Amino acid sequence: MLELVMKISLICLTLSMLGLVYRLIKGPTVPDRVVALDAIGINLVAIIAIISMLLNTNAFLDVILLMGILAFIGTVAFAKFLEKGEIIENDRNQ
Amino acid sequence: MRTNDVILQTVSKIVFFIIILFSIHLFFAGHYNPGGGFIGGLLTSGAIVLLLLAYDIKTVAKGFPINYITLIGIGLLFAVGTSAGALLFNVPFLTHAYDYFYLPLLGKTSLHTAVLFDTGVYLVVIGVTMTIIQTIGESE
């Protein structure tokens, strides 16, 4: 029963990821694409969690936290590039 | 117009410590669980990159007065030292030793010299990543 539910939710996550990929390709502006990329990362976290339940292992739990951190840092870097034009400043008070 | 990123700076101050703790956990988990020196070092440098994003190179250099190129040298010395230390005990190069010790707070723990080798990997990964990122970031 639980396995069936997990497979159905995997399919739902895959469909939502397809929608996000559509936004990533089609998105008229760059911020649209950045938000889609961030949501794809979080979607991937959910998929990893369900797959690690299906495989009955807890070896992927570190990957979940890692994906969250990497998605956050990547989105912050993209946002800073869009706003200021450079990612790492030499001196922000200048 | 100067932008004010107080939310980013406050959040990254807190998240920095969470990432550092997670990277230390990954580093020490490496022997029995997924993890190890490589991913731990990458995550530590990821935390420093987050500070670099929220602040700037000068502020972070004031907070971490570390020469990352020296860090690479220290890491390589760690790796070579623990490998060559095996030669002192008449065993082949890179032979590691372990034993169980009763530590006062932790109880029965197995201490392994491979951790020292992993520390070398950890330091080299931090040094290389931060050197690459800072050299690219500093160029005008």
ipTM over 0.90: no
Q: Is A25 on the interface with B (CB under 8 A)?
A: no
pTM comes to 0.88
At residue B113 the predicted structure's pLDDT band, cuts being 50, 70 and 90, is confident
> Is pLDDT above 80 for A93?
no
Percentage of residues in chain A having pLDDT higher than 90: 79
A contacts of B46 (beta carbons < 8 Å): 69-70, 73
Q: How confident is the model at residue B26 (pLDDT cuts 50, 70, 90)?
A: very high
Q: In chain B, which residues have their Cβ closer than 8 Å to the Cβ of A52?
A: none
pLDDT at position B106 = 78
pLDDT score at B1: 56
Inspect the interface and report whether the beta carbons of B33 and A91 lie closer than 8 Å.
no
HEC letters along chain B: CCCCCHHHHHHHHHHHHHHHHHHHHHHHHCCCCCCCHHHHHHHHHHHHHHHHHHCCHHHHHHHCCCCHHHHHHHHHHHHHHHHHHHHHHCCCCCCCCEEEEEECCCEEEEEECHHHHHHHHHHHHHHHHHHHHHHHHHCC
- pLDDT band at residue B99 under the 50/70/90 scheme: confident
Predicted local distance difference test score (pLDDT) of residue B140: 62
Average pLDDT over residues A36-56: 94
How far does CA A75 lie from the centroid of its chain?
A: 9
pLDDT value of residue B2: 67
Residue A7 tokens read as 């497979």
Number of H helices and E strands in chain A, helices first, is 3, 0
* Top-confidence residue, A92 or A79: A79
